[in-house]
Copies of this chain bind each other. A is one copy, B any other.
Amino acid sequence: MEFKPLSGRLSPRFAAVKTFFRLPHVPIEENYDVGIFGIPSDLGVSYRPGARFAPTQVREFSSLGRGFHWSRGVNIFEKLKAADIGDCPVTPLSIDQTMKQIEDYVSQLLKLKKKFLAVGGDHSNTLPILRALKKHYGQPLAFIHFDAHLDTYPAAWGCEYHHGAFARHAVEEGLVDPTQMLQIGLRGPLAAPEDLDFAKKHKITAITVDDVRAGHLNDFVKKLPVFKSTPTYISYDIDCLDPAYAPGTGTPVPGGLTTYETQKILQNLKIPNLVGADLVEICPAYDPSNITALAGVDFMFEALSLMALN
Contact = CB atoms under 8 A, between A and B. Distances in A.
A8 interface: yes
Most buried by B among A55, A214, A254: A254
Interface of A: 8-9, 11-19, 25, 38, 40, 42-50, 52-53, 55-56, 59-60, 64-71, 73, 75, 84, 86-87, 89-95, 97, 156-159, 161-162, 187-193, 195-196, 208-210, 213-218, 242-245, 247-248, 251-252, 254-256, 258-260, 263, 285-291, 294-295, 297-298, 301
Contacts of A256: 260
- Dominant secondary structure at the A interface: loop
Contact of A189 (B17, B87, B158, B301): B301
A95 B95 CA distance: 10
A27 B136 CA distance: 37
B56 A18 contact: yes
Nearest to A153: B9
Given A67-B192, A216-B215, A89 B11 contact: yes
B157 A289 contact: no
A142 to B, nearest CB: 26
A161 B16 contact: no
Contact of A157 (B9, B55, B84, B263): B9
Contact of A95 (B93, B188, B289, B297): B93
Contacts of A8: 46, 156, 191
B191 A67 contact: yes
B86 A161 contact: no
Contacts of A60: 56
